[in-house]
Amino acid sequence: MTCYVIFNMKKERNETEHNYHNNIEVILDKKYTEPKVIIYAKEKNEEIESIISAIQKADVEKFSAISGKHDGMMGIIQQRDIIRARTEGRKVVVDTDQGKYTVKYSLTSLEEKFDGKRFFRISQSEIINLYRVKHFDVRIAGTVLVEFDNGDKTYVARRFVRSLKDRLKNEGLDAKTEQPSKNAE
């Protein structure tokens, strides 16, 4: 079976560059700020699953997982699975699609562990995964409502609004209408 994998990556020069090697096409283009992998194949099979697994493993190895307690059991949480980390009373919790985990880290230490491209602090008590944001709503003057892909909502603290807008602008996004791409997932 022939499998084509295209990697889109950020490049320093303005022109587009193509490299080919054993059915792998690498396109280097300045418009991409995150790697994006596209797999073309006739069908999803064991070979495709192996490629996906290898890519996910590379992402996992780059940024450490954290441990947390959910329903009385300890679990390992990969950063890509985290929707947000926040304080809840005196505890720090991490929300995922699988539920809420209590962790033994401060938000500051989580912020240091987290992938800086994926996560952003929106208040003294919350860090969000930008890749899990469905949209930002800036219609209310001075505030930003964040809606996640799972339907949860939160607000950006006023003192963090400017830095969020700057971050989104630097990534070529408009906080009124767009969301971060999920290129790294």
pLDDT at position 53 over 90: no
pLDDT tier at 81, thresholds 50, 70, 90: very high
pLDDT at 13: 42
Higher pLDDT, 119 or 183: 119
pLDDT at 183: 46
pLDDT at 176: 52
Higher pLDDT, 62 or 111: 111
Looking at beta carbons, which pairs linking 5-8 to residues 24 or more positions away fall under 8 Å?
A: 5/37, 5/38, 5/39, 5/40, 5/51, 6/36, 6/37, 6/38, 6/40, 7/35, 7/36, 7/37, 8/32, 8/35, 8/36, 8/38, 8/183
- When pLDDT is averaged across residues 149-178 and rounded to a whole number, the result is 83
pLDDT at 12: 42
Q: Output the DSSP codes for 141-182.
A: TT-EEEEETTS-EEEE-HHHHHHHHHHHHHTT--TTT-----
pLDDT at 4: 47
| Distance (Å) of CA 65 to CA 25, 26, 57, 87, 142 | 30, 29, 12, 19, 35
pLDDT at 126: 98
User: All domains of the chain, ordered by start, with CATH?
Assistant: 4-62 (no CATH), 66-170 (2.40.50.1020)
